[in-house]
Amino acid sequence: MTILGPLLMAGLFIVPIYLASRTDEEKVVDVVDETGWFIHKFENNDNYKFVPLYTDLETAKETLKAGRDHALLYIPRTEVSVPSSAIIYSDGQPSMNLKGYISGVMSKEIENQKLSAEIKKEIERRSPGYKSNNDEETLISETILKNIKSTVNLTTIKIEEGGKEEKSYTEVSMAVGMFGSIMIYFFIFMFGAQVMRGVIEEKTSRIIEVIVSSVKPFQLMMGKILGIALVGLTQFLLWVVFTAAIVTVVQSAFPEKFKTNPAEQAFTPKSQMIAPQNTDQNQAAPKEENGPNEMFEAINSINYGVMIGAFIFFFIGGYLLYASLFAAIGSAVDSEADTQQFMLPITIPLIFSIVMAQYVINNPGGPLSFWLSIIPLTSPIIMMIRIPFGVPFGEIALSCGLLIAGFLGTTWMAARIYRTGILMYGKKVNYRELAKWLFYKS
């Protein structure tokens, strides 16, 4: 580990940076801009190519449904002078990078247009004969700079099979995916360490010698792993039940606070999508009335059945895979202090998955995200991040199948080490010795 440890830790920092720097396949984003303000403002980069379309929205949608392009950005004409909203149509969840770039470009252009109008107005006001009471008066005042600040409301709409359109929330998907993956990460570490400590305790107390006289080592190992797995699963299910009960009670006690108006939630690609922006400095901007409704709609957009089912499967699969390795480590050493040299190689894939989480969130459909979500050592965490963004059923099935195969493989390997290690005392074990144990005859 003196040599292997630095290599693994350096790889943990270098490999994610290298993988993240690699460009994925260029994705085409069609742009339909009815305002004419932004259509040539989007610059192509290594990941996205913006293609202006001079057609109507329905025709652009048909192009998108045909599968030729990645997404469609629609900027509708507004009834006021300043546009403030846009819609992104896509067959999946657009990435946070794409939304951030589009929002930034539109906000900058809107602010430039407002600034030009304010400067023109100020110049006209300072007609010949204008006298200033302030020698340091500038053309652009703090009030003007404050008034030109703009935000863009980006709405994302997912076009499902059959042409059905459904509002999506990238931020909610990101939060749900990260929460599920972090919970699996901590559960695997916490309960896997319990398995390892239990094996070490039984070995050092010599009680293991009595137990293996009645059961086979494999049965003993699997009994310990499955028992702790059921404890963790029970705890998670209790969390789900109690959380649902608390939310239900609060909703029943304050029903008016949780009401949503379906009519207000409806969306159209025309001006109803856009909250008119009042550019008059002397009048306050209209208040956003759909904030609570938008929040509740975002929360209700989560498919809780799919998320809970995926969490249970990938938690159990990931735990069983890693717990068998933790049990093998526990059987190979005489004390918990000796486990450090074996723990790092096993935990590196878990830590690597968390490090790569941000990349996966920004590009959940990319090749790297796909491979990380089907490799058994990283799939429990990465697939939980991808599922809220929408993953084809074939990829989920492949990931589940490989995770089961990975568990069977690590269980076989752990069982071979376990049967020899639990009855061996006083010997410092290295990786070469563990490799010999794998091929000892029964």
H helix and E strand count, the chain = 16, 6
pLDDT at 402 over 90: yes
Cα–Cα dist 32/65, whole Å: 15
End-to-end Cα distance, the chain: 30
Distances (CA, A) of 142 to 7, 147, 152, 192: 54, 9, 22, 58
pLDDT at 256 over 80: no
Q: Show Cβ contacts of residue 392 under 8 Å, excluding neighbours closer than 6 positions.
A: none
Amino acid at 219: Q
- Say which DSSP state 402 is in: H
User: In this predicted structure, what is the pLDDT of residue 411?
Assistant: 86
C-alpha dihedral, 58 to 97 to 380 to 300, nearest 10°: -50
User: In this predicted structure, what is the pLDDT of residue 81?
Assistant: 66
User: In this predicted structure, what is the pLDDT of residue 17?
Assistant: 67
Q: What is the mean pLDDT of residues 27-46?
A: 82
Task: List pLDDT tens digits, range 265-290.
Answer: 444 444 333 333 444 433 333 344 44
Highest mean pLDDT among 12-16, 181-185, 299-303, 344-348: 181-185
Mean pLDDT lowest for which of 21-25, 320-324, 414-418? 21-25
Domains, the chain: 26-125+143-168 (3.40.190.10), 172-266+298-438 (no CATH)
- Say which DSSP state 407 is in: H
CB of 428 within 8 A of CB of 226?
A: no
Share the mean pLDDT of the chain: 76
Task: List pLDDT tens digits, range 66-85.
Answer: 776 678 888 888 766 677 78
User: In this predicted structure, what is the pLDDT of residue 442?
Assistant: 55
Q: Show Cβ contacts of residue 334 under 8 Å, excluding neighbours closer than 6 positions.
A: 200, 203, 204, 425, 426
Q: Give the helix/strand (H/E) hosting 298.
A: helix 291-300
Q: Give the helix/strand (H/E) hosting 158.
A: strand 153-159
Q: Which ranges of 75-216 would DSSP assign to H, the alpha helix?
A: 96-125, 142-147, 170-204, 207-211
Task: State percent of the chain over pLDDT 90.
Answer: 5
Cα–Cα dist 325/393, whole Å: 29
Task: State percent of the chain over pLDDT 70.
Answer: 76
CB of 384 within 8 A of CB of 403?
A: no
